[in-house]
Amino acid sequence: MLLTGKEDLRVIKTIEAIKQSFEALICEKDYEKITVTELCERARINKKTFYHYYPTLDDLLSEMQAELTEGFINKVKDYTLPDDLEKVNREFFLFSASRGPAYERITTIGNYSYVRGRMISKVMHATWDKSEKFKKLDPFKQSILISYVNSVTLDVYRQWTDSGRKIPVEEIIGICNQLVLSGTEGFFERN
C-alpha cells in the first residue's frame, strides 16, 4: 500500500513494519522461500492484517519495485540519452549505493532477475524512449545497445558490491563510464 501521509498512524506503522520485515527477509533468503507467515511473525502482525493491505507477496514485491524504479526515474528524468549517459550512470551508482542491502540484493542476485528486468524495462522506457538518436536505430540495434549498457553497468556495480565497495563510489563511476561511454560513442559513430 503506497502511503500518502494522510493515513492513521497505526496504518503507517503497520505498513512500515511490513516493508522493513520484507526487506530484512530479502537480505536473508531468496524471494521464493519467503512466506507470508514468516513475514507476519517478523512484522508482529497477523495474516489478516497483511492480506488487508496486500493480496499476495508478489503485490508487496511489485510495490517495492515500483517505488525504487520511480525514485531512480525521478533522478534521471531530465537527462537526454545517449548524450547524458555519463550523468545517468552516475545517478545509478549514487542512487544504488544509498538504497541499502535489500536493493543491492535485488540488483545483483540472479534470483531477482525478473524483478530487476521489470525495473530496467521501466527505466529504459522513461529514458531511452525519449531519445531521438535512439529512435533512429532499428529495433535490433536498440536492443543490442540497451543490453550492452545494462550488462556493463550492472556487472560493474555487482563486482563493486561483491568486493565490499573497496574503492570509492566516484572511482567506480569513472571506471564504469569509461567502459560504457567508449563503447556507446563508437556505436553511434557507425550508425
* Domain containing residue 14: CATH number: 1.10.10.60
151 and 76 part of one domain: yes
What average pLDDT does the chain have? 89
152 and 72 part of one domain: yes
Please spell the DSSP secondary structure of 127-164, one letter per residue: HGGG-HHHHHS-HHHHHHHHHHHHHHHHHHHHHHHHTT
Structural domain harbouring 138: 59-190
Inter-CA distances, 138 with 102, 143, 144, 176, Å: 36, 9, 10, 26
Q: What's the confidence (pLDDT) of residue 168?
A: 97
Q: What is the pLDDT of residues 42-82, one digit of tens each?
A: 999 999 999 999 999 999 998 998 898 999 999 999 998 99
Tell me if 30 is assigned to some domain.
yes
Number of structural domains (the chain) is 2
Q: What is the pLDDT of residues 97-115, one digit of tens each?
A: 999 899 998 888 877 888 8
Tell me if 163 is assigned to some domain.
yes
104 and 184 part of one domain: yes
Tell me if 2 is assigned to some domain.
no
- Which residue type is seen at 118? R
88 and 145 part of one domain: yes
Residues above pLDDT 90, as percent of the chain: 65
> What pTM, to 2 d.p., does this model score?
0.84
Distance CA 10, CA 89 (A): 39
40 and 14 part of one domain: yes
